[in-house]
C-alpha cells in the first residue's frame, strides 16, 4: 500500500511539474535571432550582420547583459535604428527593481541611449515600467506604465499617462491554453476618447515558451506572456467612431527541433 501511495504521489508531482510553466522553471535561453522576435516595424540587419542577440547571466540565473540589438536614436519618439552586433544593454537588480541601461555602443557611445526601471511585486511580477529620462524634471506620467494581473496571475491590464489629460488603457485577453489572444487599447487625448487599437495573436505552436524570463526587454515582452509561441500577429486601429483606419500583420515561420522545442536562435 505504501508503495502505491508513493507512486501516486510521484505521478502527481510529475504532473504538477509539467504544468508549471512559470519563468522561474524555464531553462536559460542563451541567444535568440533578432528577426524571430516581436516587432511591429521590424528593423532589418545588414547583409554582413549576424542578427543574433546573446544573453549573459549571473550565478543566480539573472540576465545582466544583452549583446546585439538596436539603439534608440530618439527616446522621445521611440524610433529604432538598424540592428547592430556592437550594441549592448546592461541589467542590474536591487530591492525588487530592475534597471536596464540600453543602447551602449563602445567606444563610440559610452552612455546609454535610454534607461528603464522595472518595479516588481513580491512574486516578481512587473508592477511598473518607467522610462527614466536624463533630467528628472522632464519626467511625465506617460513615462510610466502600470500593470495589473488577474486571479490566475496573468497580465490583465496596463495604464499609461494621466487620466485628466493624455493616457492609454489596455486589456489583455487569453485563450484556454493560457496564450495571449488579444490586446485592446483605448487612447485618450486631453481626457477625451480618441482611437482604439486591437492586437490579435494566433498560430500558436505546442512548444514551451522559452522567453518567459525576457519580459524585461521591449521586443520580447509580448512573447513572454504566453505558455506557447505565436506565429501570426495582426493589428487594427479604429478611430473614435469605430471606423477601421489602419491594418498591419506579420507571420513567422520559426523552426523547431527534433524534440518539438522552438528554436528562436535560428533563422
Q: What pLDDT shows up at residue 21?
A: 55
Query: How do residues 66-96 score in pLDDT, each as one tens digit?
Result: 998 877 654 444 445 667 888 899 999 999 9
- 242 against 47, higher pLDDT: 242
CA torsion 123-61-90-159 (nearest 10°) is -20
Span 229-243, average pLDDT: 95
* Most confident option among 1-10, 38-47, 129-138, 250-259: 250-259
Q: Among residues of the chain, what percentage have pLDDT more than 90?
A: 59
Span 46-61, average pLDDT: 80
Query: How do residues 157-188 score in pLDDT, each as one tens digit?
Result: 999 998 888 999 999 999 999 999 999 999 99
Query: How do residues 115-130 score in pLDDT, each as one tens digit?
Result: 999 999 998 999 999 9
Residues 6 or more apart whose Cβ sits within 8 Å of residue 41: 80
Strand segments, DSSP code E, in the chain are 31-33, 52-57, 63-69, 72-74, 79-80, 84-94, 97-105, 114-120, 126-132, 144-149, 155-161, 167-174, 180-189, 192-202, 232-239, 244-251
For residues 6 and 208, what is the distance between their CA atoms, to the nearest angstrom? 28
For residues 267 and 36, what is the distance between their CA atoms, to the nearest angstrom? 7
Q: What pLDDT shows up at residue 19?
A: 43
| CA proximity to 132, closest of 87, 94, 93, 75 | 75
Query: How do residues 258-267 score in pLDDT, each as one tens digit?
Result: 999 999 987 6
What average pLDDT does the chain have? 83
For residues 239 and 196, what is the distance between their CA atoms, to the nearest angstrom? 6
For residues 172 and 155, what is the distance between their CA atoms, to the nearest angstrom? 7
Instruction: Decide if pLDDT at 4 tops 50.
Output: no
Q: What pLDDT shows up at residue 195?
A: 96
Q: What pLDDT shows up at residue 81?
A: 62
Give me the long-range contacts of 67-73 (CB less than 8 A, separation at least 24): 68/34, 69/34, 69/103, 69/219, 70/43, 70/103, 71/102, 71/103, 71/105, 71/109, 71/113, 72/102, 72/103, 72/113, 72/114, 73/113
CA 15 → CA 10, 115, 254, distances in Å? 8, 41, 28
Q: What pLDDT shows up at residue 51?
A: 79
Amino acid at each position: 500500500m505504501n508503495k502505491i501511495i508513493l507512486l501516486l504521489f510521484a505521478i502527481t508531482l510529475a504532473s504538477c511539474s509539467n504544468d508549471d510553466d512559470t519563468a522561474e522553471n524555464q531553462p536559460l535561453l542563451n541567444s535568440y535571432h533578432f528577426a524571430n522576435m516581436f516587432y511591429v516595424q521590424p528593423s532589418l540587419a545588414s547583409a554582413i550582420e549576424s542578427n543574433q542577440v546573446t544573453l549573459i547571466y549571473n550565478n543566480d540565473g539573472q540576465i545582466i547583459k544583452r549583446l546585439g540589438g538596436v539603439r534608440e536614436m530618439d527616446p522621445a519618439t521611440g524610433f529604432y535604428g538598424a540592428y547592430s552586433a556592437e550594441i549592448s544593454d546592461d541589467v542590474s537588480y536591487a530591492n525588487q527593481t530592475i534597471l536596464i541601461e540600453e543602447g551602449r555602443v563602445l567606444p563610440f557611445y559610452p552612455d546609454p541611449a535610454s534607461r528603464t526601471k522595472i518595479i516588481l511585486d513580491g512574486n516578481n511580477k512587473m508592477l511598473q515600467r518607467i522610462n527614466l529620462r536624463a533630467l528628472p524634471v522632464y519626467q511625465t506620467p506617460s513615462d510610466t506604465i502600470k500593470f495589473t494581473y488577474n486571479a490566475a496571475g496573468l497580465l490583465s491590464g496596463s495604464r499609461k499617462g494621466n487620466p485628466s489629460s493624455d493616457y492609454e488603457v489596455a486589456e489583455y485577453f487569453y485563450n484556454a491554453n493560457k496564450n495571449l489572444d488579444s490586446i485592446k487599447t483605448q487612447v485618450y487625448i486631453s481626457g477625451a476618447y480618441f482611437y482604439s487599437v486591437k492586437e490579435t495573436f494566433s498560430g500558436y505552436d505546442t512548444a514551451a515558451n522559452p522567453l518567459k524570463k525576457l519580459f524585461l526587454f521591449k521586443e520580447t515582452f509580448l512573447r513572454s506572456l504566453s505558455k506557447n509561441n505565436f506565429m501570426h500577429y495582426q493589428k487594427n486601429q479604429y478611430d473614435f467612431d469605430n471606423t477601421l483606419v489602419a491594418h498591419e500583420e506579420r507571420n513567422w515561420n520559426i523552426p523547431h527541433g527534433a524534440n518539438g522545442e522552438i528554436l528562436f536562435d535560428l533563422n
